[in-house]
Structure 1
Amino acid sequence: MFVTNTDRVRAELEGRIVDGALAPGTTLDETLLCKMFDVSRTPVREALLQLSAEGYVRIVPRAGIYVVQLSAGELREMFESMAYFEGLCASLAAQRISDSQLKKARYLQELGNDALSRQDIDAYRQYDKEFHECIYGGCGNSYLRSQLIYLRKRTRPYRRHHGPFSFEQAQSSWDDHQVLLEALQRRDETHAMQVASRHVRIYALPFIEAGEVAPEHLYFGAGPRQAGELSVMDMPRLFLSARQRDESLVP
């Protein structure tokens, strides 16, 4: 498959943004990018325009180009959408997932358990990503799959930055996968939907309870705040509280 310079630059920049190597708020310099990728300005500009159209970067005329930094409100809306879409996807997968896809999901579950036992957070994150994408593939709806992958990409820098907050919490989150697998094996659409949606809600609740915190606090940590105002430094406590209470994200 032929890959243009624009495609190459775009894919590399998107990957670095999604993984957090280019953090939210980072300024992107066209000249430096040209040197980095050994290309002219044209493919760099075309790649940046594509990334801007997809919401990864913001181009401000005569001011600069920046990696988009999501607000708490934007994250809230994304997590609300993810909770609903994950539930719908799991429900459809309970009807449509193939035996080979279930086998792959079980294998990824085993690999994830092994990564947690070794406390290998990078491997855990990779298997978590592959597990979810395996379920997305099993739902038999390519549009829903693409929307979920996009939402996971957009929220990944924040999810990677703030959690899981301990290996105990990561194990608790991973245990949800086992419950979901059992529901899929039984072809239990209702339970699969409930488990998948709850999995996202519990993870997202700290962002919801944090409210309209300044965007820089969401990624870079605590900053000045008024008495009683929540920041991301409170999120480990809120994560545990969410799992203990099993509250719903959407009323």
Structure 2
Amino acid sequence: MLFMDRKRSDIIADDIEGLIFDGTFADGARLDEVQLAERFSVSRTPVREALQRLALSGLVDQIPRRGVFVRQPGPVELIEMFEVMAELEAVCARLAASRISDDALARLESTNARCAEAVSANDTDSYYHQNELFHALIYEQAGNGFLQQEALRLQRRLRPFRRMQLRARGRLKQSMAEHQAVVHALKDGDAAGAADVMRSHVAVQGEKFHHLLGLLKTGGRGNAGGGAPSTP
């Protein structure tokens, strides 16, 4: 894996996400810290941190005195969140087109280069983590602290679902091409173009949404046929 500098709790959180999506932990299942610690051969501390991260994304509910339970959002809730995410990121890109610094553009291109390395290695996990940095940098360069925090909050909420989409056949290369289009629009100062490309990059509607639901039902084992939608 290209992205090596990761906390143990983050790795465990990713593994638990996978177990939820492949049906090992069903919707409503209780996640026991002791059993998970034994499963991953760690103390309860990184497991507790992993569950806290998953709670931020909304994939689990932490209920006082009862425990932690798997919570899969329904189709309507999921598509509503992606609609809002697409609009938030479009605004970020539009503002960043006129406000991004030369230094930030250089950092954005460097992050995108690491995304390209991950695509070449077909490493979806490394790509996703660099992808998060790519998007977060654009939030920052929008120059609006409130907007940045709202975008980061929803990014955390949708993390497991955005990561899941990368497993569909052809998604990494298509996402990479869209990243390049975003960078070009920002370099050109094309506010409307940057917003349009980013909105399309993030939006999950119609056929794209059916692909995502199919991945969730099959545990992210890939696209059985046809083209793949864009990857946020």
TM-score (structure 2 length as normaliser): 0.71
Written as runs of structure 1 = structure 2, the 5 A alignment for 1:122-133 is 122-133=125-136
Corresponding position: 1:71 with 2:68: no
How far 1:32 moved relative to its partner? 4.9
How far 1:30 moved relative to its partner? 5.5
Corresponding position: 1:29 with 2:26: no
Equivalent residue in structure 2 for 1:138, among 120, 138, 141: 141
| Partners of 1:94 and 1:188 within 8 A in 2 | yes
Q: Which amino acid aligns with 1:121?
A: T
Q: Which amino acid aligns with 2:199?
A: S
Structure 2 equivalent of residue 8 of structure 1: none
Percent sequence identity over matched residues? Answer: 30
Secondary structure of the equivalent of 1:20? Answer: helix
Written as runs of structure 1 = structure 2, the 5 A alignment for 1:1-251 is 12=9, 16=13, 20=17, 23=20, 25=27, 26-29=29-32, 32=35, 37=43, 55-59=58-62, 65-166=68-169, 168-201=170-203, 203-206=204-207, 208-209=209-210, 219-221=216-218, 237=226, 239-240=228-229
Secondary structure of the equivalent of 1:65? Answer: strand
How far 1:22 moved relative to its partner? 6.0
CA deviation string 1:210-231 (max 9, x = no partner): 79x7xxx763428xxxxxxxxx
Name whichever of 153-162 and 70-79 sits farther off: 153-162
| Partners of 1:27 and 1:66 within 8 A in 2 | yes
How far 1:163 moved relative to its partner? 2.9
| Partners of 2:61 and 2:71 within 8 A in 1 | yes
| Partners of 1:95 and 1:189 within 8 A in 2 | yes
Distance 2:171 2:18 in 1: 24
Which stretches in structure 2 are left out of the alignment for 5+ residues? 1-7, 22-26
TM-score (structure 1 length as normaliser): 0.66
How far 1:88 moved relative to its partner? 0.3
| Partners of 1:165 and 1:236 within 8 A in 2 | no
Distance 2:67 2:44 in 1: 21
Name whichever of 147-156 and 96-105 sits farther off: 147-156
CA deviation string 1:35-80 (max 9, x = no partner): 96457xxxx7xx9899768745335689753032111111101100
How far 1:177 moved relative to its partner? 1.1
Distance 1:237 1:208 in 2: 14
Change (3 A) 1:206 1:66: farther
Name whichever of 64-73 and 29-38 sits farther off: 29-38
| Partners of 1:90 and 1:189 within 8 A in 2 | yes
How far 1:178 moved relative to its partner? 1.1
**Paired residues, what number?**
212
Which stretches in structure 1 are left out of the alignment for 5+ residues? 1-10, 223-231, 244-251
Question: RMSD over aligned Cα, in angstroms?
Answer: 3.9
